Amino acid sequence: MKHYFFMAAEHGLENTAAKPRTKLTDLQRVDLIQTALQKTDELEFCVILESMNVFDGVQDPLYELRRVEGFLGMTLLPFKDLGKWERDLILKTVNLSRFEDEETENKVPKLKESKILKKNYDISFERSVIFFPGLRLSDFSAELLSDYDYLIKVFKDTGIETWVDHTYERRSECTCRWSAQAIPLLYRMTCQWEISELDSETLASISEHFKLNYHRGFMMERTKQNIHQNADANLKSRVFLLYYETDDGVVLDFIWYCILNFGIFTRTGVLLAYNAVDISAEMIKCFGLNRKQMLEYFEEELASSTDPADGPVQIAGETTNIDDLIKDTTENEEETSIDSLSLD
């Protein structure tokens, strides 16, 4: 059986989450998660449109992330109109793949910089950076990120519909498929994803582009049930989920870009619809629910595995609580075999 790991020697994979940086007990982690959920209404998202470099000018991202619900960014622009940070990230990552030859195995083109510049493709770019108290690197895996039960919980009421496993052909145990309203009222996107973990060398290379030196990362690349079907407007898509672990939680940096090959009339309609929508409100609703529901998912998982008879943590013969410790230190759409960016 072929292994579906990303760019590791002979399909091997380093366990980058083997040694957790946090020494919190499960009870302490639950307490942190519950406190974060209780304080949700006190926090707000910082939304930055037209730029994905959300930490530009920020000296200490970790400090700022603890003071807000998260940082959000979204834009839809021709490649040449993007900022240098966005253009460089795309060129650095656009041809990364868990496939040895993605053009043959996945029927997705490798894109040279010269072609991207010549075609000046439209780029849909989305980013969210959120701090999750109480979570660990080891909580995440490619299997979890493609798990139906996990996805329907974190995507509940966000407008993203996860397909039940048996309703489509999965290429591996790390395949998932979901549908989302890419442009409200106009375009609905159905994507099937292959998820793989980045090896340490690739992760280090990508991290050079960011202000945090990420400890773990996953990539989602679009595939299709029928890779031989005609190309559609979604020429190539990449999602990166990058994690940075602290003593009391995990930062998740989510980056999703699509390279779109619109016809001139479709492009005009898409841009008009995009500019007519309150993007900030849509993003705040979606990622606010994602944050809340991810915390609730792991709270339930930890609570189910924690012995209720466990008492407060003992340190040096004294009883303490988590506050002292911190001070010290869907309904699926009808089944279809077509993956596309389709007109509603």
- The rounded distance, in Å, linking the Cα atoms of 279 and 270 is 14
Asked whether the beta carbons of 176 and 193 are under 8 A apart, the reply is yes
The pLDDT tens digits of the residues spanning 294-320 come to: 999 999 999 988 655 555 443 333 444
**pLDDT for the residue numbered 276:** 66
What is the chain's mean pLDDT, rounded? 83
Which has more pLDDT, 304 or 238? 238
**What's phi and psi for 261, nearest 5 deg?**
-115, 70
- As a whole number of Å, the end-to-end CA separation of the chain is 39
Domain ranges of the chain: 9-343
Look-up: residue for tokens 């279809």?
336
Which has more pLDDT, 280 or 213? 213
Task: Tell whether the torsion through CA atoms of 16, 18, 24 and 25 is positive or negative.
Answer: positive
**pLDDT for the residue numbered 93:** 97
150 confidence band (pLDDT: 50, 70, 90): very high
Q: How deeply is 245 buried, as exposed, middle or buried, from its count of CB atoms within 10 A (0-12, 13-18, 19+)?
A: buried
Reading the block at residue 308, the tokens are 């209720």
